[in-house]
Amino acid sequence: MENTIKHAILDNATALLGTTVDASMIQFQKTRKDFAGDTTLVLFPLVKLAGTSPQQLGERIGTFLKDEQQLVTDFSVIGGFLNLVYPTSHWLDTLRSIDGDTRFGMQPAGSKPAIMVEYSSPNTNKPLHLGHLRNNFLGYSVAEILKAYGHDVVKTQIINDRGIHICKSMLAWRDFSPLNEKGERETPANTGMKGDKLVGKYYVEFDKRFNAEAKTIMERWANGDFEGFDKTTIDKYVEFSAALEGKDEKAQAGIQDKIKELAKNATNILREAKDLLVRWEGRDPEVYLLWTTMNGWVYEGFNETYAKMGVDFDRLYYESETFILGKDLVNEGLEKGVFYRKDDGSVWIDLTGDKLDHKLLLRSDGTSVYMTQDLGTAVDRFNDYPNLSGIIYTVGNEQDYHFKVLFLILKKLGYSWADACFHLSYGMVDLPSGKMKSREGTVVDADDLMDEVIESAREMTSERGHLEGMTEEEKETLFRTIGMGGLKYFLLKVDPKKRMLFDPAESIELNGHTGPFIQYAHARIQSLLTKAGTIEAYDNTELEQSEIEIVKQLADYPKVIEEAALSYSPAVIANYTYELVKLYNQFYQSVNINQEADAAKRAMRLTLSRNVAKVIASSMGCLGITVPDRM
């Protein structure tokens, strides 16, 4: 309708405004809720051309659209805005159009260029945790939204399967795993423990031993025992100790942290872990076998967790493969003068001219860092998918600086597509108990949290009843659908950029701004439609204002998908769907649809309900959430 009104004004611009106008000057916006109207024409761009007041111009255009064109049934001028009311027939036609489109709101598949979305990207030294849940749900949802908007999408992850952190778990398992009666160390097979959790257990064990050894070293230094330590380390300790005198409490704490870090770097256990990394990069057979074995355990655990999450990937990349290309790129950058080598053999890039700092690319022992791997991964991906229009990296906001540097280095290496890389930065997830720390074993395990919300959904649903006639398998599917729907919705309804506090109990509430609230509306409509049977055709019938408001909300769905796709924000769709359900619930409570005596009105209301359910299923599908037909 807006396009029809726009063309009517353009075609009659000389009579209305005294001159022709550019189409860009005809601008519409949503009518404010406190005013009557279905759309609002912004008058300010046209007032100067017309040489009259906004009130006079609004009256002129409104009268023209109502009396001459019969496009609106009423209008009002508020300041510089013309609020327009559409005839009921427009909304009936809109409902019919929505009803006839099975993919309503979605753009044709492949109508937009290919784009890659990276998410999850875990380390293979620990299981997935609460932070990974927000990451996976966010990345997967963005990928589905981009698909709905017409993009070809490649869902991917980079598995961080090498590095010092991996070597820490490897060393701890090799040296500290107890032997059973068969002389075997702990494995997933002989303990029944999930592989990623077993490896994570030894990552925590390494940190305990690491801190204990560092504490012993600090005690020895405090007692004047420096035997076995190199002169540089001893001199540094003496320097820090001397600096403690005369400092206030805050300054002393900072110096003590430096002493602790110095002690950690002097530990034998860290030195051995670093040696493992050097041997791994040198393809030492013993180390490589240990690495492949433990990573294999982790992959099996991850796959089980991903299946429970309901996420998948089209292509996997491994840091153990892409870091090699990254090293080649570093050598290429050295030849081009983009990078420089220090006297100790380490390789850096000077970004001070870009108001950043110096960034390490290769350590002095030749081993690579995250940046090396990420350079190789980016180039590898564009080589594999040359038609990509861009890559979206779903990574927490603590890595904002890393990605700023990554994209800048790629650009300096001559890759023009670096401008098409985007960091989808999201806020951390907090719990009432505080922050999580994986090294200390205080993370909230993803599997445990998913099991918790599913169990809560089981208890809530069982208490309510309404499960008659369902098999045990159907019940378990329903509990999982409600629990995971609540978890996903809670983590996605908040703008990705915002830090959030997660409350598991609140996430599965049937009332309020929750996933189960929306799921229940879908189930209620399916029950209504089942009882109604065949929906008859209808011609003209009067729409009540509550019904018009629902059709309006439905009609906004294509724009909502577009906004969510362009902003990479599932929260846009989550909040839209919540508002749709609230409107429908208010309507549903005010009428008895199946008892309506007017056959045409009953058919229209059933059609309206059917399309609310269709859009709920579609929008929640964009969030990776399943909606049940019974609840």
Q: Do the strands 421-426 and 347-350 form a parallel or antiparallel pair, or are they unpaired? A: unpaired
pLDDT of residue 303: 97
pLDDT of residue 537: 85
Q: Tell whether the torsion through CA atoms of 487, 492, 497 and 501 is positive or negative.
A: negative
CATH assignment of the domain containing 68: 3.30.1360.70
Please name the amino acid found at residue 401.
Answer: Y
Please indicate, yes or no, whether residues 483 and 420 belong to a single structural domain of this protein.
no
Q: Which residue, 64, 86, 108, sits at the end of a domain? A: 86
What pLDDT digit, counting tens, does each position of 463-521 carry? Answer: 887 788 899 999 999 999 999 999 999 999 999 999 998 888 888 888 899 999 999 99
What distances in angstroms separate CA 266 from CA 83, 214, 254, one per listed residue? 73, 8, 19
Residue 57 lies in a domain: yes
Please indicate, yes or no, whether residues 467 and 374 belong to a single structural domain of this protein.
no
Please indicate, yes or no, whether residues 426 and 480 belong to a single structural domain of this protein.
no
Please indicate, yes or no, whether residues 320 and 453 belong to a single structural domain of this protein.
no
Residue matched to tokens 């445990």: 448
CATH assignment of the domain containing 293: 3.40.50.620
Distance CA 76, CA 82 (A): 6
What is the reported pTM?
Answer: 0.90
H helical segments located in 149-284: 164-176, 188-191, 195-222, 231-244, 249-265, 268-281
What pLDDT digit, counting tens, does each position of 568-615 carry? Answer: 999 999 999 999 999 999 999 999 999 998 999 999 999 999 999 999
pLDDT of residue 242: 92
Please indicate, yes or no, whether residues 219 and 327 belong to a single structural domain of this protein.
yes
Residue 236 lies in a domain: no
H helix or E strand, kind and range, residue 484: helix 472-492
List average pLDDT for each run of 10 residues in the chain, which is 631 residues long. Answer: 94 92 93 92 92 94 95 95 95 96 95 97 92 96 98 97 94 96 96 96 96 96 95 94 90 94 96 94 94 97 97 96 93 95 96 96 89 95 96 96 97 95 93 51 81 93 84 94 96 94 86 94 96 88 93 97 98 98 96 91 96 98 96 87
Please indicate, yes or no, whether residues 491 and 409 belong to a single structural domain of this protein.
no
pLDDT of residue 81: 96
What pLDDT digit, counting tens, does each position of 277-296 carry? Answer: 999 988 999 999 999 999 99
Sequence-separated (6 or more) residues with CB below 8 Å from residue 153: 114, 115, 116, 117, 143, 144, 146, 147, 314
Residue 258 lies in a domain: no
Please indicate, yes or no, whether residues 314 and 201 belong to a single structural domain of this protein.
yes
Range of the domain at 80: 2-86
Q: Which residue, 86, 119, 151, sits at the end of a domain? A: 86
pLDDT of residue 438: 40
Sequence-separated (6 or more) residues with CB below 8 Å from residue 383: none
- Average pLDDT in the chain: 94
Residue 251 lies in a domain: no
List of E strands, 6-133: 27-29, 39-42, 74-78, 81-85, 112-118
pLDDT of residue 442: 53
CATH assignment of the domain containing 481: 1.10.730.10
**Angle, alpha carbons 210-213-214 (nearest 5°):** 85
pLDDT of residue 439: 42
